[in-house]
Amino acid sequence: MKSFILLENMVFYAYHGVLPQEAKVGNEFVVNLKIEVDLAVAAQSDILDDTISYAAVYEEVKKQMAIPSRLLENVAYRIIQSLRREFTSIEHIEVKLSKRNPPMGAQIDYASVVLTD
């Protein structure tokens, strides 16, 4: 059986972007995670130590979002690497990182990148 932990629509105010104004003013970003992990033991035991804490995952994402980067790709990569270091039971990770209202002279809700590992 495949099993996943999803953390959806985590919103952060951060300072990622290539333009100097983005580093000064910041923007809202939305992070969606899909973590493949074996949840069979936790499903039967009902014990937190048998799974990955959603709160602990959130804190790792929050730490990485607080570090300014020029590219969304870099932030998403760092999120994956950080989660892999902290939670060795992770089999696969998908991160979607979206920037709201990117400054590109277009009517657009989000610019996003998706990285999987």
Fold category of 4-116 in CATH? GTP Cyclohydrolase I, domain 2 (3.30.1130)
- 62 catalytically annotated: no
For residue 1, is pLDDT > 80? Answer: no
* Catalytic-role residue among 24, 34, 63, 99: 99
* CA nearest neighbour of 19 among 70, 66, 68, 65: 70
101 compared with 43, residue with greater pLDDT: 43
Region 78-99: mean pLDDT is 98
pLDDT of residue 17: 94
For residue 14, is pLDDT > 80? Answer: yes
Give SS3 for 41: helix
Over the stretch 19-60, which tens digit does the pLDDT of each residue have?
A: 998 889 999 999 999 999 999 999 999 999 999 999 999 999
pTM over 0.75: yes
